[in-house]
Amino acid sequence: MKAVDTSPVAEHAEQRRVVPPEGAGFFPSLRGAVVAIEAIAVELASPDRDRPNKNSAASEQTWDQIRIRHSRQALKKALGEPA
C-alpha cells in the first residue's frame, strides 16, 4: 500500500482507517468513506441497542403529535392493508 497523507487530527489517533476515494468512474467518490463512517457508527451504538429504538419511537411520537406524518396504522388503512 502506498503512503497516504493524513490530517493533523489523524496523526494523534491510536487507530485509523484509510478509505480510498476511487470510484467506478473518473471522479473521486465519497461513497466508500460514508459507508465506512456509517459502519463504525453502527458498531459504536451497538452496545445499547434499545437506545436507538427508543429515540426513533420518541421521534415518531413527536411527529404524530405535531401531525407532520401519518401513523403506520393510517397508512395501512389508506393502502387497504390489515392493521
Provide the grid cell at 27: 471522479
Amino acid code (one letter) for 79: L
- pLDDT of 71 reads 66
CA atoms of 30 and 46, how far apart (whole Å): 24
CA atoms of 32 and 9, how far apart (whole Å): 20
CA atoms of 59 and 49, how far apart (whole Å): 16
Residue with cell 401513523: 71
Query: 70 falls in which pLDDT band (50, 70, 90)?
Result: low
The per-residue pLDDT for range 2-54, each reduced to its tens digit, is 556 677 777 888 888 777 777 777 778 888 888 888 888 887 777 777 777 78
Greater confidence (21 vs 61) lies with: 61
Average pLDDT of 50-63?
80
pLDDT exceeds 80 at position 72: no
